[in-house]
Each structure stands twice: as structure tokens, then as C-alpha cells.
Amino acid sequence: MWELIRTNKRNSILLMTIMASVLLALGGIIGLYVVGPEGVPFGLAIALAIWLILTLVSFSAGDQILLSASRAKLITHDIHPQLFNVVEEMKIAAGLPMPKIYLIDDPAPNAFATGRKPENASIAVTAGLLEKLNRDELQGVIAHEMSHILHRDILFVTLAGIMLGSIVILSQVFLRGMFYSSMGGRRRRVSSSGRGSGQAQLVIALIAILAAILAPIMAHILYFAISRKREYLADAAAARLTRYPEGLASALEKISGSAEKMDSPDKVTAPMYIVNPLQSTKRKLSGLGSTHPPTSQRIKVLRNMAGGSYNDYAQSYSRVTGSRERVLPAAALHDKQPVPKRQGQAEPAPAKSQKDQIHRISDLVRMANGFAFLACVCGLKMKIPPNYRKESLTCPRCKRPHNIAKEAQKNTAK
């Protein structure tokens, strides 16, 4: 396992170095174009400054920003015991500290993990995920997220995201600047030399524009290529942790097949989710521009596994795709003994009506937001918001008095 994490770290460093050189080269070229040869260090400095500011911000509060951007609420054991238990099980299986658990107020099923290191990691799941998946499927999803934490993917996504962000910002500022300055008449430096220098100027301009257009695309392709590999690795690790690949497979099926779409997906958080919320499920192939492998293929690979080990996953992958490509890093393939699969244990959940599901999702979100739940003898269920200050209230239907503090406590004790 440590070899695996080390390989992952090495890959991360390699990717970061390439991205950093792209960023610096971009800065240099822009400096060269705007000011001239003496502007190169200036361009480098600006590129570095953007990167530094973004790094500082995201390292001090990156996960908090992401979590609050996706409207996630920290929850405790009482609000959803099963989720808590499943996370605890996977934390034990992976030998990690307990992550913080967040609930996202969204009926579409999805989940992600974030943080810098395992000690301060968080896992966020949507209310829809909890409502739609059974225990085994939930376990598969949590195991997948736990693997991202275990492999330090969360740090990688943060760092690579920062690099990508810096490159995009720099090239956008430059291209827009070019656009506006060309609209408002050329603000050309007076060149004292003849035609040769003017041609050189033109060439530099062309290179700069090309670089500004191509750099973000290249960085994206690079980032996505590694991100896809990591999704496969996390799937393989989830199968090994749970010894039950079918759980994750059927969870992926439900997530990608669900009719709801996430309310607030954006390009920044999209690559972090277990199934990319921005991609349409209809697409067969994953192009260079997708962060996740096609979900249908991930499901097929999981279902074709003969056992629960990384080797089984790699073999299944080459059977399903017919390619010789190495999907997992060599360091992962160290299991010598076969790892047997186990049986599923979740009972088929009773079919729930759509309306019932929506009810339960909103109740869950209310609970996470600190609502008190009181059941009156007359059968009415009252949901009291946390900003209701009075100590008691009367039932609106039968006018019985209720003491909020006392009865709410009894509810949670149960």
C-alpha cells in the first residue's frame, strides 16, 4: 500500500512540474510579447504570484470553500446512523482516521471527498444518494471515496486544480487584454529598428497567442488523463476494501441512471464527484476532455471481476476493453494470494414512491440543519426550525401543549 501511495505521489509531483513549467513558459512568453526581452522575468513573476495566491487560499480554506459552495452540512451519527456506520467500516478497512461527514442538500445521488491529508479529510454525500442506495451500494461509494483519501488523490486534485486555475486565469487575462487593446487601436512601442524587428514582433505575437490558447487545453488534457487513471484505481481499491465489486457497480448504475441532475454542479467541483455531474450519461466514449472514464465501462469492469484483488481488476479491465494498456500502477499489483469476493448482504429495499422519497430527503436535510422533530399523539409530525426560540408550542391540529426541549431529546435518545 505504501508503494502505491509513493508512486501516486511521484506521479503527482511529475504532473505538477510539467504544469508549473507550462505556467512559467506561458508567463514568460506573455512577458516577452507585452514588454520585450526585459519583460520575461516580469511575466514569470506574475505567473508565480497568481499561483502563490491561489495556493495559499486553497491550502488554508480550500476544502471549506468547496464544501460551502456545494451547500454541504456537517452531520453527526444521530442524523443518519447507517451512513456513519458505513464510513466507520470503510475507515477501519482502510486503516485511516475518521473523516468528517457532510450532507449535501441535493436530490441527485452523488458524493465526493476533499481535504489535504487523511487527518483532515471530509466526505460529502448528497441526500439523494442516501435515499436511493441500499447498504451495499452505499458501502461501495464510501469505499471509493475512502480510496481517494488513502491514495492522497484529494491533495492531488487540489494542487492540480490550482495549477490549472492559474494557467486559465493567466491566458484569459492575456487574451482579453489583447482583444481589447487591438480594438482600441494598436498601442505599439515605437520600434527604432527596421522591418526585421517588426517581423520578429509578429512571430512573437503569434507564438504568444498560440501559447495562451493551447496551454490551458494541454493542461486540461494532462489533468484529465491522470484523473481518469485515478478513478479506475479508486474503483479497484473500493472493490478490494469491500470485497464486493457488485455494490459499487450497481451504485454507479443508479447514480448515472438517475433522472435528477445536480442543482449546482460547476466546473471546479465536477471532477471530484464519483460520477461527473456535468457529463451526459449517453456518451459512449470518454474523450480526452473528460475527467472520468465512461461510467458504463467502469460498471462492466467491476462486474467482470473474478475476485476482489487489484489483479482481478486489471484482468477484468483488459477483458472488457480489449486493450493492453496498464490501467493500474504496477505497485498496486502485489497481492499474491487470491482475494475472494463475498456475498452481498443488503436486502432489496421495498419500493418507495417518488413522493415518499422526496419527503424523506427533505426530512433528512431538515435534520442536518438542526430542526427538531416532534410527534404529537394526534398523529401530526411537527418540524421545528432551529431559530424557533420559544420553549413550548401547541399542536396546530389538536391544541395539545408540547415542550420542545424535552421531547426532542427523547427523540434523539431513541
Partner 1 sequence: MLPTVIIIIIVVAILILIIAAYNSLIRLRNQVDNAWSQIDVQLKRRHDLIPNLVETAKGFMKHERGTFEAITEARSKAMGARSVSEHSQAEGQLSEALSKFMLVVENYPDLKANQNFLAVQEELTSTENKIAFSRQNYNDQVLLFNNKIQMFPSNLIANMFNFSKRDFFEIETPAERQAPKVSFDS
Q: Within 13 Å, how many C-alpha atoms sit on residue 153's CB side?
A: 28
The least CB distance from residue 235 to partner 1, in Å, is: 18
Binders in 54-83 for partner 1, by CB under 8 A = 81-82
The least CB distance from residue 266 to partner 1, in Å, is: 35
Say if strands 100-104 and 122-126 run parallel, antiparallel, or are unpaired. parallel
Q: Within 13 Å, how many C-alpha atoms sit on residue 332's CB side?
A: 26
* 126 phi, psi to nearest 5 deg: -85, 155
Only one of the segments 56-64, 89-97, 197-205, 401-409 lies at the binding site for partner 1 (rule: CB under 8 A); that segment is 89-97
The least CB distance from residue 380 to partner 1, in Å, is: 18
Q: Which is nearer to partner 1, 81 or 370 (CB)?
A: 81
In DSSP notation, 109-177 reads --EEEE-SSGGG-EEEEEHHHHHH--HHHHHHHHHHHHHHHHTTHHHHHHHHHHHHHHHHHHHHHHHHH
All three cell numbers of 119, joined, read 487527518
CA dist., res. 35 & res. 40, Å (int) = 8
CA dist., res. 191 & res. 140, Å (int) = 65
Sign, CA dihedral 61-163-98-134, equals: positive
Work out which of 76, 345, 392, 403 binds partner 1, going by CB under 8 A. Answer: 345
Q: Which is nearer to partner 1, 9 or 220 (CB)?
A: 9
The closest of 135, 80, 74 to 99, measured between CA atoms, is: 74
Q: Which is nearer to partner 1, 68 or 82 (CB)?
A: 82
Q: Which is nearer to partner 1, 381 or 414 (CB)?
A: 414
Binders in 230-269 for partner 1, by CB under 8 A = 241, 243
The least CB distance from residue 85 to partner 1, in Å, is: 4
Specify whether 137 is catalytic: no
Work out which of 45, 56, 57, 92 binds partner 1, going by CB under 8 A. Answer: 92
Q: Which is nearer to partner 1, 37 or 348 (CB)?
A: 348
Q: Which of 137, 145, 231, 246 is catalytic?
A: 145
The least CB distance from residue 92 to partner 1, in Å, is: 5
By CB under 8 A, tell whether 409 contacts partner 1: no
By CB under 8 A, tell whether 86 contacts partner 1: yes
Q: How many CB atoms lie within 10 A of CB 79?
A: 21
By CB under 8 A, tell whether 135 contacts partner 1: yes
By CB under 8 A, tell whether 89 contacts partner 1: yes
Helix axes 135-150, 81-94, angle to 10 degrees: 40
Q: Which is nearer to partner 1, 220 or 243 (CB)?
A: 243
The least CB distance from residue 75 to partner 1, in Å, is: 16
Binders in 366-395 for partner 1, by CB under 8 A = none
For residue 88, the surrounding DSSP H or E stretch is helix 81-94
In angstroms, what CA-CA distances link 238 with 142, 309, 325?
8, 10, 21
The closest of 28, 24, 19 to 208, measured between CA atoms, is: 28
Work out which of 95, 185, 196, 322 binds partner 1, going by CB under 8 A. Answer: 95
Q: Please identify every residue annotated as catalytic.
A: 145
Interface with partner 1 (CB under 8 A): 1-2, 81-82, 85-86, 88-90, 92-95, 135, 241, 243, 345, 414
